[in-house]
Amino acid sequence: MNPRLRLLSFLLAAAVLALGGLLAAGPALAARAVAHGQGVMWAGDHASWIGSYRLDDGNTGYCLDVEKPQPAGTEVTYVDGSTTGEYSAADSARLAYISRNFGSPADPLSAASAQLATWTVAGLAGHDQAYFARRANDSAADVVIAANHILSRADEPGGASTGVSATVSLDLDGPGGSVRSELVVDYLAGRATVPAGSFPGRFTLTGATFDDGSRTRTVPNGTSAAILPAQQGTTETVSVTVEYRALPFGPGFRLGRNTGPNQSLLVDHPYPRDARATDRATAPSELPFAPRVQTRTSAAVVQPGDALTDALHLSVHPSSPAGPGWGVYTTPDGTLAPIPVVITSILHGPFPAAPVQAEAPPAGGPVVCTVETLAAAGPRRYDSPPCTVPSPGFYVWTDSIDPARTPPSQGGTRLRPWASPFGAATETTLAPAAPTLTTTATPLPDSTSTTPPPHPGPHDLDAPQALATTASSAAAGDDGTVPVLSLLAPACVADTLHLEGLPAGIDPIEVRSTLLGPLPALPELESTPDDWRDFPVAGRTTTSVSADGDHPSACLPVTRPGHYYFVTESDGSTPAALPDVTAEPTGESVDGESVEASLVPAFADHRVHASEAISLTAPPMAPPATTPPPAVPTSPAPPDATGRLPLTGAPAGPTAMATATAVGALILGLALAGLAGATMPTRRRRG
């Protein structure tokens, strides 16, 4: 074969064989150059050698100091030539490249070319390459060409290098994740990434495993491997370390430093480089995340027309699979942010009674409004938009979180739904009613009235302000007095209750009517006598009322003449326990003492009203029956007797019997009239 072709073939094969040489047994720290290796002896003096030397440890080397004697038979000590300071970083990289790729040639001319390339880097002592290449005799020109080819390749991409580094990256985009590592070499021609699959890297995981459950695996560079992050909270944190051993890069060449005056050697098996990299990443966990809202109405008692809000204390549900932390998602800039939720609040009502707690609101129940609150800052207090209470009744909030309202890119697929129960005491508000009550004393149809019934007019109950009113005073007459119903004894009187403004569907409330009397005189109208509780009681009755309209009480019989009037009382509707709005949530509900309030507050009216008063008088006594006297025959009058008085033409006076009868009737009538006058009421002017 042509020597030049044989030399070029060697150069192409050398890089392939280099790795095998690296895996050979490691050399000792010192060795002896025992003889020539591959090379050519100059025919000119049969003493000058260009090529390699064999060492007693099996390694080979090229001379570095061209001016010194040959090293055969001398001792050398191995050191990293790049650390001695005798060579620049670039020259160290070139020498490492020569020894790595051409350190053990199989033919003499290849060894001669590598030796000339080594001398060119280390120094030619003022000579040119041809001066030393002539030792190759007739192949001198080919050796020069091959040596320069070696040096040219060292300066090209993929040639000599000053270092190597590793990178590793974690991708935690779920489900699962992956790891990948790259090798980057600092060639003299510039940085470059090593082709994928060139070298194995040893990966070690923390906070994750590979798909086979192991935490370590050998993966080639440039190749991704699937991992399974540990799921133990709202975030997953994974660490990875990758290590590459004995990489054939870098400037570390093996210098066989001569212990005497002879030449040192560039020994094959240069010092390899290790590369190591770590990475750590945190990402949202794939575990489901469960929120909850501890809610509290803004007021226990309001008036119709008031605004009502719901206090929303957002937190993590104790049974959340992701643990006690609030769920997060990855923002476009790579940071973690709280998963936003939309809290939907519904104000239900009005209801005629305090709602009973249930899992869900009644189907078709009344609803005042639906409002939404975007909770984007994680767990803290939020307040819903207000709703206006339209009318008296009980109202209750319910709240819910729908995962569909949160975009998947913001963690909606990991969000669990939540809904509050219906009828929670902490969410219940009462708007009390203020009904109008009109009361009128009403006799039974068979009772005899001597005056027309009074016309009712409005007045207030002596109850808490703005809770209830009545209307039961009579209209005054032309003379300024207020008529009072007068009845003849015996009579039966009812208290007719007319109500307006009761909430529909309420449980009946009981109104107690008490008829006070008989009294010798009616107290001043529209007053509350101080001693009214000591007045005699003619009767009591209770009337159940559940809707607007007229509600007559039971009839109370009265027989004794005198003055009477009704007073009314009611305990209102059954009180409901409502939350103390000053309490703060500490657990599943809001702690704190409750307050009690009624839809229809208790009321009472103890004043004297004309419409509620009667005057009972005894009936007139009938005259006793008399037996007429026997008839007495009369004699016919004389013809000139006409029975008329003189001068007047009036009839003659009565007979003696007729006169006696008339006088008796007159006396009896006067007696009866006197008795009646003793029981007539005394009218009092209002003033």
pLDDT attached to residue 634: 52
The two three-digit tokens of residue 373, written as one number: 């609150």
C-alpha 530/C-alpha 527 separation (Å) is 9
In three-state secondary structure terms, 189 is: coil
Segment (H or E) for 472: strand 469-474
C-alpha 288/C-alpha 323 separation (Å) is 9
What amino acid occupies position 672?
A: L
Note the pLDDT tens digit of each residue in 490-544: 999 999 999 999 999 999 999 999 999 999 999 999 999 999 999 999 999 999 9
The two three-digit tokens of residue 664, written as one number: 């008796």
Q: Note whether 303 and 378 are within 8 A (CB).
A: no
The two three-digit tokens of residue 436, written as one number: 């109008």
- Does the structure show a pLDDT above 90 at 49? yes
C-alpha 101/C-alpha 659 separation (Å) is 174
Note the pLDDT tens digit of each residue in 186-213: 999 999 999 999 999 999 999 999 999 9
Q: Give residue 629's pLDDT band: very low, low, confident or very high (50, 70, 90).
A: low
Task: Kindly compute the dihedral angle of the four CA atoms of residues 184, 249, 13, 51, in this order, to the nearest 10 degrees.
Answer: 150
Angle in degrees, 0-180, between the axes of helices 3-22 and 140-154, rounded to the nearest 10? 40
Kind of pairing between the strands at 307-308 and 208-210: unpaired
Q: Which residues pair with 679 in a beta bridge?
A: none
Note the pLDDT tens digit of each residue in 651-664: 334 433 333 334 34
For residue 500, count other CB atoms closer than 10 A to its CB. Answer: 12
Q: Which residues pair with 242 in a beta bridge?
A: 203, 277
In three-state secondary structure terms, 328 is: strand
C-alpha 371/C-alpha 347 separation (Å) is 9
Angle in degrees, 0-180, between the axes of helices 108-122 and 140-154, rounded to the nearest 10? 60
What amino acid occupies position 119?
A: W
Note the pLDDT tens digit of each residue in 123-138: 999 999 999 999 999 9
520: left (phi over 0), alpha (psi -120 to 50) or beta: alpha
Q: Note whether 199 and 176 are within 8 A (CB).
A: no
Segment (H or E) for 166: strand 161-171
The alpha helices in 103-211, defined as continuous H runs, are: 108-122, 129-133, 140-154
Give the residue-averaged pLDDT of 463-483.
46
pLDDT attached to residue 445: 76
Q: Note whether 90 and 162 are within 8 A (CB).
A: yes
Among residues 133, 132, 97, 82, the alpha carbon closest in space to that of 14 is found at: 97
The two three-digit tokens of residue 270, written as one number: 């240069």
In three-state secondary structure terms, 494 is: strand
- Does the structure show a pLDDT above 90 at 559? yes
pLDDT attached to residue 204: 98
Q: Give residue 626's pLDDT band: very low, low, confident or very high (50, 70, 90).
A: low
What amino acid occupies position 156?
A: E
In three-state secondary structure terms, 677 is: helix
Say how many Å lie between the first and final Cα of the chain, rounded: 150
- Does the structure show a pLDDT above 70 at 171? yes
Q: Which residues pair with 509 in a beta bridge?
A: 545
3-state helix, strand and coil shares in percent for the chain, rounded to the nearest 5: 15, 40, 45
Backbone angles phi, psi at 15, to 5 degrees: -65, -35
Give the residue-averaged pLDDT of 639-654.
35
Kind of pairing between the strands at 436-443 and 469-474: parallel
The two three-digit tokens of residue 571, written as one number: 């305990």
Note the pLDDT tens digit of each residue in 563-577: 999 999 999 999 988
Q: Give residue 471's pLDDT band: very low, low, confident or very high (50, 70, 90).
A: very low
Query: 630: Cβ–Cβ under 8 A, 6 or more apart, which residues?
Result: none
pTM for this structure?
0.68
- The number of residues in the chain equals 687
Q: How far is CA 216 from the centre of its chain?
A: 40
Note the pLDDT tens digit of each residue in 347-373: 999 999 999 999 999 999 999 999 999
C-alpha 302/C-alpha 429 separation (Å) is 7
| Structural domains of the chain ordered from first start | 3-154 (no CATH), 162-250+271-284 (2.60.40), 291-431 (2.60.40.1930), 436-617 (no CATH)
Among residues 11, 483, 83, 460, the alpha carbon closest in space to that of 270 is found at: 83
C-alpha 109/C-alpha 459 separation (Å) is 131
